[in-house]
Structure formats: C-alpha cells, structure tokens
Amino acid sequence: MELIRGLHNLRARHVGNAVTIGNFDGVHCGHQAMLAQLRAEAEVLQVPTLVMCFEPQPQEFFAGDAAPARLMTGRDKLEALAACGVDRVLMVRFNAAFRSYTAQGFIDALLVRALGARHVLVGDDFRFGCDRSGDHELLVQAGSRHDFAVGRMPTVLWQGERVSSTRLRTAVAAADFALAAELAGRPFAVQGHVVHGDKLGRTLGLPTANLLMRRQVLPLRGVFAVEVDVLGQDGLVQTGLPAVANVGSRPTVQGVQARCEVHLLKFSGDLYGRRIRVRFLKKLRDEQRFPSLDALKAAIEADVAAAHHHFAV
C-alpha cells in the first residue's frame, strides 16, 4: 500500500482512482464492507483504490480536546487499511485552508484534477465542503460532467443498529469487548513500543511494560485483564501472553500523560523498544486515586490476583 502524505505529494501517476473519503477510525465492519465494494468497482475499472482520510480528524480540528477519543493511532489505521486491500491512502492535512474548500471546489480541485477519480463511493450520510452543501446528489451531477461514477454505500447493521465509529467507541468505553469485537471484526487492542517509565512498578515488585499513548486518547480508563502479543519485524514473536493492564493517568502519583501499563503474569525478559499489541478482554475495576503507595500496591496485587483468576494461571 502506498501512503501519500499530503496533497502536495500528489503526482501525475496518482491520477485515475476509485476513491472513498472519511476518517475510518476503527476500520470497523461498516468500513470493511465499503472497502470491499470499492475494491470490486476498482477491479472492473482496472484502477487503484484510494482512501482519502484526514490528520487531524475534522472533529479534532473543530473541537480540540473535546473531540471524541480515537479508537486507533494513525499507524494502526494504516495497517488496518492495508489489510483490507487498499492500494493508496491519501492523508490530507485538515487545516484552515482545506476547511475552506466549497463543495464544488472540493470536487473540481481534488476529485477531478488531483485524483482523476473514476469512481467515488460515499456513505449514505456523507456531506462535504465548508458549507456542508456537498452530498451524494451533487457528486452524481459532477460525475455526469466529468465522467466518474458515484456509488452510495448502504448502512451496515449489527443486531438492528447502525455500525459506526461512535457505536464502537461506546462499546469500548463500556468495556463491552464482545460487542466491540463484533463491530470491528477483531478484538479491541492498542499497539505501541515499550518505553522506559518511572520504574514505580519495579519498586512495588510488579514491573510493567509502558506504552505512551502520545496523540491517542483512549476511550477507556481502568484496570483490565488483557492478552499481549510481542511483535517482530516479520510478524508475531509471542502471542496471547496473559497480563493485567492499567490505562489512565495514574492519579495516585500525580500522573499527567495517559499511558497503558502492562504487567505480564508469566514472562521474563526485556521488552524495552519492542512493539507489543495489548488486547482487552475484561474490565477489573475503574481507575482511582489511593491515599498512599502502600494502598496502591495492595490494589495492584489484588488486580494481579483477579487477572490470575480470570486466566486460571
């Protein structure tokens, strides 16, 4: 899969695509159905598939810190899109200049001139342009003038309700990981490189592998039973390692930056710098502030015991 970072990196060879547009946060089953339909249209036309997505996401541009938490990092999203068979991803910088495109300007400058779209597939609620006047009908009218077809993806339902990033985010926040897995088509997980922390876990006799969330604000907080995969350059090195994870800002020690701290139940070795995947299975308790480090240690030991009971190890 080719990643095109920004409109300024588009070249003549990028003209001629089957295009879809959106945030694709979570790359859930609805997204996957849309991408499958896009691939089918691209095969008929014998052109590449191209997904246009945004960094930051539009809601983050407009709402800042009040925007919904992301379900995945940019890297995770790209990996998921590649797994869905996408040929190209155009990552557009969503800024004031991009926001100012009118719906017609978006069609003329981007879909027609920059991308040479042959087919455009959108969701049934898709709107675009600074005045949100762009819709499926406007695309159909433009397609008849510029020789591109327009498709509209019907809503994908699960148990009678629409599959969406919002619904997936709500399921994750409620620790309904079974529903989240159904909506996403895979277990909810976070990935990242293990970094050096403040060594508090080691001091308490329970060392942890620490993942900084960086720009990702997770839609969940608390203590969880999880499984850990250790990733290598060519795929999995170890998989399904039982563990307990704390996700949050660690209020007992005046933590500020959100992180995921993972204590592996049966593991010895050095994970610093390694990339790991943490799959969430069951919530054990909410994040809370304790009056002392001794109280925190007692709570962590109880969390570890609960995780041992969950895994029966």
pLDDT tens figures, 89-125: 999 999 999 999 999 999 999 999 999 999 999 998 8
pLDDT tens figures, 55-78: 999 999 999 888 888 999 889 999
- Range scoring the smallest mean pLDDT among 92-101, 140-149, 286-295: 286-295
pLDDT band for position 252 (cuts 50, 70, 90): very low
More confident residue, 217 or 272: 272
Superfamily of structural domain 189-311:
Riboflavin kinase-like (2.40.30.30)
By the 8 A CB rule, do 282 and 242 touch? no
pTM check: above 0.85: yes
Superfamily of structural domain 2-162:
HUPs (3.40.50.620)
Domain boundaries of the chain, sorted by first residue: 2-162, 189-311
pLDDT tens figures, 171-224: 999 999 999 999 999 999 999 889 887 655 555 667 889 987 765 667 899 999
The overall average pLDDT reported for the chain is 90
Does pLDDT of 255 surpass 90? no
